[in-house]
Amino acid sequence: MQVKYKFVSNNIEELASYVSLDELADNSHIILSISPCRSGSTAMMRAFGAMGIDSYLQPLKNLLRWHSLEVRRHWHPHGGTTRPIYIKETLGPFSQAEVQFNPLDLLLAAGIPVKKLSLLVIGRLPLETWASWQHWWPERTNVELLIKAYQQTEKIRQQAQLLGVETSTLIYDAFRDYPSDILIQRLCYRLNINYYSKAVEGWQQLPRFGEKQSNIFIPQMPEAFATRHIRHRVEEATGLIYYSRSNEVGQLNKKDIIRIEQAGVPEIYNHWRQLCETELELTEWEGTI
């Protein structure tokens, strides 16, 4: 079913009024991840939840989706914890509204100080991401939305740096080239959080998403935006393992591939990869596969 948005570009202030962060402890911290959707952010949400960090699945984009259907919803994270919370937000795939969305602006408008925020940009090879979009929503998205999702993610990354928000970059494809424990240990060190091996292994023992003790909170979503079984692979995984869609990449429309290249998306991704390798000191690790 085609989803129709009633999107107003300057609605961030209104959406921010639906967010209540008053229950957060004074010294709590928010790790906000932003990426084009289907970039591996669900696996990262599982990793953070496994380490005991309250992790929220797209609570801000969910407000946007309800708002587009003229329904007002509110969101407030659980209070009383001094640990950081993790918010997974993705851009796309259905409309201009979802690729122009800026979760960082929304949190700032809701009153979160810059010093209490960290931004985690998650990226994936563009053609692998597009193959995933085509796998799940072949009739509901288009390549221009993918392009804008990458461009907006990079714009938000640059904005965060200008504002002084602590910013980190993680490439999903790094899990193909480096051991998961090395990557997550170094990311945890950069984010100033404790690392636990449950982040990368033993997932078969974890509760399902949204269940008690999973530390993963899933909001009620509009039925029009639901995608059945989209988190199944991560929920059934035994650990943080790289998954490739290279076979599906070979089946992509050549015109779409050319358009992605012409739009400079590979350059955006390559810059993220360089940042990831530098920030996590991967070029200094001698055990590169």
Polymer length in residues for the chain: 289
Measure the CA–CA gap between 282 and 277, rounded to whole angstroms. 5
**21: confidence class by pLDDT, cuts 50, 70, 90:** confident
User: In the numeric block, which tokens belong to residue 122?
Assistant: 């998650």
Residue 108, CA atoms < 13 Å, CB-side half-sphere: 14
How high is the pLDDT of residue 285? 65
- Residue 9, pLDDT > 60, answer no
289 confidence band (pLDDT: 50, 70, 90):
very low
What tens digit of pLDDT does each residue of 168-201 get? 999 999 999 999 999 999 999 999 999 999 999 9
Q: How far is CA 169 from the centre of its chain?
A: 11
Q: Which of 37-41, 82-86, 198-202 shows the lowest mean pLDDT across its residues?
A: 82-86
Q: Which two tokens stand for residue 244?
A: 């490739």
Which domains does the chain carry? 12-283 (3.40.50)
Residue in 256, 253, 209 with CA at minimum distance from that of residue 233: 209
Find tokens 């960090």 and name the residue.
53
Q: How far is CA 31 from CA 47, 51, 134, 165, in A?
A: 13, 14, 29, 10
**φ, ψ (nearest 5 deg) of residue 258:** -60, -40
Q: Per residue in 118-160, pLDDT tens?
A: 999 999 999 999 999 999 999 999 999 999 999 999 999 999 9
| pLDDT tens figures, 45-84 | 999 999 999 999 999 999 999 998 889 999 998 865 668 9
How far is the first Cα of the chain from the last one, in angstroms, to the nearest whole number?
Answer: 43
